[in-house]
Structure formats: structure tokens, C-alpha cells
Amino acid sequence: MKGAKPRLMQGNEACAEGAITAGVRFFAGYPITPSTEIA
């Protein structure tokens, strides 16, 4: 990613952003405790 600005984010955020960038259009999750930020 030429010219992209580095960003600081948590692992869950990076995983979600990577999935969106890769073209994932649907995520199914069950919100349990403790939950991640993605679900």
C-alpha cells in the first residue's frame, strides 16, 4: 500500500479491517461473555 499512513490499532480491529479489505461481506458471530470487539 504505497503512500498509506501507518495506523495503530488492536488486533481485532486489524483482523476486521483486513477481512473488509479482502472483500468479506458477511460475518456470523455469537456474542458471548467475554466478547471481542468484532462480535
d(CA 30, CA 3) in angstroms, rounded, equals 37
Residue 2, pLDDT score: 78
Residue 12, pLDDT score: 85
- Name the grid cell of 39: 462480535
> Taking the model in full, what pTM does it have?
0.62
Residue 4, pLDDT score: 82
CB 29 within 8 A of CB 39: yes
pLDDT in tens, the chain (39 residues): 678 889 899 988 899 899 999 999 998 887 777 776 776
Residue 19, pLDDT score: 94
d(CA 2, CA 24) in angstroms, rounded, equals 23
